Amino acid sequence: MFNFAQEQPLPTSKGSKCLSHPDEEAVNKCKSCRRPLCVKCSIVKPEGVFCCDTCWNKVKKFQDRLATIQTKATEFDKREASAKKKTRLIYIVVVLLLIGCCCWLFKAHPDLFDTAIKTVTPYLKKVGIMK
């Protein structure tokens, strides 16, 4: 998450002047509108330096929306991870059931196992798995 409270004030160009006080040197820029500000015009808030409450409110609303979006994204990621775990579990159960069914079938009908081996062996030799 962005932490705007730790940001430094925006630097100004050397020799730039405050728009409201042309005889004063600008020491900051408004975080929202980038307007050059003198010490008198600078409103220091935890989120940064601003020229007026309107600009401060814009940044504050943006931060609130950003926090909401990030919270929703985190919740979505948790739900997605949970769904992936459930899907993997279902795959594992299905594979184990298939293996169990094959074992039961071959135990109940040993002649099927011999037939399956005889059928598959030529293909395995062709592919190079068996010699």
What's the length of the chain?
131
Q: How far is the CA of 67 from the CAs of 1, 2, 4, 16, 51, in angstroms?
A: 7, 9, 12, 35, 24
Domain ranges of the chain: 4-92
Mean pLDDT of the chain: 87
Say what percent of the chain tops pLDDT 70: 89
Cα–Cα distance, 59 to 130 (Å, whole number): 69
Q: What is the pLDDT, as a whole number, of residue 114? A: 84
Q: Up-side HSE of residue 25: CA atoms within 13 Å toward CB? A: 6
Give kind and range of the element (H or E) at residue 57: helix 53-108
User: Which pLDDT value is given to residue 13?
Assistant: 60
Q: pLDDT, tens digit, for every residue of 74-98?
A: 999 999 999 999 999 999 999 999 9
43 and 52 in contact (C-beta within 8 Å)?
yes
The per-residue pLDDT for range 44-68, each reduced to its tens digit, is: 998 899 999 999 999 999 999 999 9
